[in-house]
Amino acid sequence: MIPLRSAFAGLLTAAWLTGAAAAPVPDDVLVVGQTAEPASLDPAVSTATNDARILVNLYEGLVRYRSGTLEVEPALAESWTVSEDGRRYTFRLREGVRFHDGTPFDAEAVRFHFGRLLDRDHPAARTGPFPLAFLFRVVERVEAPDPRTVRFVLREPHAPFLANLAYPTGLIVSPRAVMERGGAFARAPVGTGPFRFAGWQSSRKVTLERNPDYWGEAAKPRLVIFRPLTDPNTRATEMLAGGVDVMAEMPPDALALFRDRPDFAVREQVGPHLWFLILNTQAGPLRDPRVRQAVNYAIDRQALAAHVLQGTAVPAHGLIAPAFAWAYDPSQRGYPHDPQRARRLLREAGAEGATLRFLVAEGGSGMLDPVAMGTAIQADLAAVGLTARIATYEWNAYLARVNRGLGEDADMAEMAWMTNDPDMLPSLALRSDARPGQGGFNAGGYANPDLDRLLAEARRTADQARRADLYRQAEAIVVADAPIAFVAHWKQSAVTTAAVQGLTLEPSFFLRLSGVTKR
């Protein structure tokens, strides 16, 4: 591995000594650095955690994650009940809540939001596409018996349902704003949250302002400005120059340096994250499971975590992150680094010297220094006789390319998922009928009916211990078939100036900013 820290330290020192300091940011304004320009501010359309950090401050759902956990608590709903058969969820809504455009939040607004996601004949259905609508495909209908009561009737019991409602796809939009603005709603959003939309200057910033009519406790910052800083060096130099108060994803080299500075604070938390490679199971050399296994054996996860990521991640041995303590299987050891075994599998498969087309992101939320990671993995593959040809893309272009499927012209692609439940990643990215265009992100085209059966049973099972056993069985199938290469679980981090108070990193990877202040 190439030692990067000394070179990076020199760059930051030079920037600190010679760069002009940014204009001071007022105490009631919070500037947050982002890894990329948001793709959309419509929660029904967005899929990226980068966007979700903005969305959760603009919008609210019926429920939300309790701070510091992935357990749900009331938000726009005051309470709820679940029928004995697990098919009916009835919510009692808060009274007196209004959207930022002044229209009332009520049961019909909830019906509108989910109808838009699920009904192709809905008057706002064309404001999509809605790539995560699958999360609610189990919903048979949404009823509004009165303005403060909404009932979801499910086709079958669905254990992740409440967790899915807390995910950004469940954030409720203003029906009037969607109907008036159509597809433009994604750049002129209206929710009920503690901040309201104030402006979006492309490639420069998204600005939110305090919502003076918020139903709950008023936000402390007057303005929150999200700045896209796609270049890792720029993120660090902007922090040093005083142009950013909070940076949620700092490159590992810079993170190590900020730890030693008293004028900054580094916050860290392990979350439910997996950084992996999507492998093409339908075309090219990786159609053969032995070649996919060889790729997994070739990757030196320990070296990646220790050197490229400098301790900001832990090696991944399977699908389920340690953050899901109830479902995580510590006995699952996945693929140890074993180049000799990788070469033997390649010989058996007749794939010695094969060339793999490797898609790599230039940045993006949770992507863990993707160019450096891709280059290191390229070297690991070369060591066992595989040639990986890298093609890089800007983050939003990358998502558009990968999410349509690898097809005939790519063999593998980097990806990162932050999940709210052990069901989410396998159900959206590995289930047979979750292919692009069919309601999912199975870009590698993997299909296994045994996996499908286990996932379906787990979703219908209310008993958590039984669910955990089913997910461990599912994980064993995925590890054996290797439709993905397991690489690392990220330790979520953020760098702030020492003045920032009240910022809490959440296991959901979201940033709730209404209670943040600056001394």
Q: For 450, how many CA atoms within 13 A lie in the half-sphere containing its CB? A: 9
Evaluate whether residue 32 is within a structural domain.
Answer: no
Q: For residue 260, what are the contacts with CB-CB under 8 A and spacing of at least 6?
A: none
Query: Rounded distance, CA 512 to CA 166, Å?
Result: 13
Region 274-281 average pLDDT:
98
Domain around 115: 57-183
Residue 349 and residue 474 share a domain? yes
What's the pLDDT band for 23 if we cut at 50, 70, 90?
low
Question: Domain containing 163 — which CATH number?
Answer: 3.90.76.10
Q: Are 367 and 374 in contact (CB under 8 A)?
A: no
pLDDT exceeds cutoff 60 at 166 = yes
Evaluate whether residue 401 is within a structural domain.
Answer: yes
Within 280-402, strands assigned E span 313-315, 355-361, 387-393
Strand partners, 74: 63
Region 245-261 average pLDDT:
86
Q: Are 254 and 266 in contact (CB under 8 A)?
A: no
Cβ neighbours around 498 below 10 Å, total: 12
Evaluate whether residue 92 is within a structural domain.
Answer: yes
Residue 169 and residue 306 share a domain? no
Question: Which has more pLDDT, 464 or 7?
Answer: 464
Residue 286 and residue 138 share a domain? no
Per DSSP bridges, beta strands 29-34 and 246-247 are parallel
* Per-residue pLDDT tens digits for 425-471: 999 999 999 989 777 899 999 999 999 999 999 999 989 999 999 99
Residue 458 and residue 323 share a domain? yes
Helix boundaries (H) for 74-132:
107-118
Helix (H) or strand (E) holding 513: none
Question: Which has more pLDDT, 36 or 171?
Answer: 171
Q: What angle do CA 210, 80, 171 make, to 5 degrees?
A: 35
**Of the candidate ranges 65-69, 204-208, 357-361, the one whose mean pLDDT is the lowest:** 65-69
**Of the candidate ranges 249-258, 389-398, 414-423, 443-452, the one whose mean pLDDT is the lowest:** 249-258
Q: What is the pLDDT of residue 4?
A: 42
- What mean pLDDT is reported for the chain? 93
Give which of 236, 257, 242 is closest to 518, Cα–Cα. Answer: 242
Last residue of a domain, one of 159, 183, 207: 183
What's the pLDDT band for 109 if we cut at 50, 70, 90?
very high
Residue 443 and residue 309 share a domain? yes
pLDDT exceeds cutoff 60 at 362 = yes
Residue 301 and residue 159 share a domain? no
State both tokens at 319. Answer: 């699908």
Strand partners, 225: 31, 207
pLDDT exceeds cutoff 70 at 516 = yes
Helices 232-241 and 5-18: crossing angle, nearest 10°? 40
- Given the structure tokens 């004995």, which residue do they identify? 84
Give which of 219, 201, 227 is closest to 100, Cα–Cα. Answer: 219
Evaluate whether residue 500 is within a structural domain.
Answer: no
* Per-residue pLDDT tens digits for 32-80: 999 889 999 999 999 888 999 999 999 999 999 999 888 999 999 999 9
Q: Could you give phi then psi for residue 223, rounded to 5 degrees?
A: -135, 145
pLDDT exceeds cutoff 60 at 16 = no
Say what percent of the chain tops pLDDT 70: 96
pTM summary value? 0.83
**Of the candidate ranges 18-27, 149-158, 257-266, 492-501, the one whose mean pLDDT is the lowest:** 18-27
Evaluate whether residue 258 is within a structural domain.
Answer: no
Evaluate whether residue 209 is within a structural domain.
Answer: no
- Given the structure tokens 């007022």, which residue do they identify? 26
Q: What is the pLDDT of residue 366?
A: 86
Query: Rounded distance, CA 268 to CA 494, Å?
Result: 7
pLDDT exceeds cutoff 60 at 171 = yes
Give which of 325, 412, 316 is closest to 368, Cα–Cα. Answer: 316
When divided into structural domains, the chain yields a total of: 2
* Per-residue pLDDT tens digits for 110-127: 999 999 999 999 999 999
DSSP 134-193: GGGTTEEEEEEEETTEEEEEESS--TTHHHHHTSGGGPPPPHHHHHHHGGGGGGS---SS
Torsion 501-504-509-512 (CA) sign: negative
Query: Rounded distance, CA 91 to CA 116, Å?
Result: 19
Residue 447 and residue 325 share a domain? yes
Cβ neighbours around 23 below 10 Å, total: 9
One-letter identity of residue 247: M
State both tokens at 323. Answer: 């953050």
Residue 178 and residue 283 share a domain? no
Region 136-140 average pLDDT:
96
Query: Rounded distance, CA 85 to CA 56, Å?
Result: 32
Question: Domain containing 365 — which CATH number?
Answer: 3.10.105.10
Residue 281 and residue 178 share a domain? no
Give which of 499, 365, 494 is closest to 30, Cα–Cα. Answer: 499
Q: For residue 350, what are the contacts with CB-CB under 8 A and spacing of at least 6?
A: none
* Helix (H), strand (E) counts: the chain: 15, 20
pLDDT exceeds cutoff 70 at 15 = no
Query: Rounded distance, CA 299 to CA 309, Å?
Result: 14
Cα 232 versus chain centre, distance: 19
Q: What is the pLDDT of residue 291?
A: 98
Query: Rounded distance, CA 106 to CA 97, Å?
Result: 8
Q: Are 514 and 57 in contact (CB under 8 A)?
A: yes
**Of the candidate ranges 143-147, 259-263, 303-307, the one whose mean pLDDT is the lowest:** 259-263
Q: Are 476 and 35 in contact (CB under 8 A)?
A: no
Q: Are 482 and 345 in contact (CB under 8 A)?
A: no
Query: Rounded distance, CA 413 to CA 25, Å?
Result: 39
Residue 167 and residue 300 share a domain? no
Region 259-265 average pLDDT:
92
Quick check: bond before 26 cis, omega within 30? no
What's the pLDDT band for 248 if we cut at 50, 70, 90?
confident
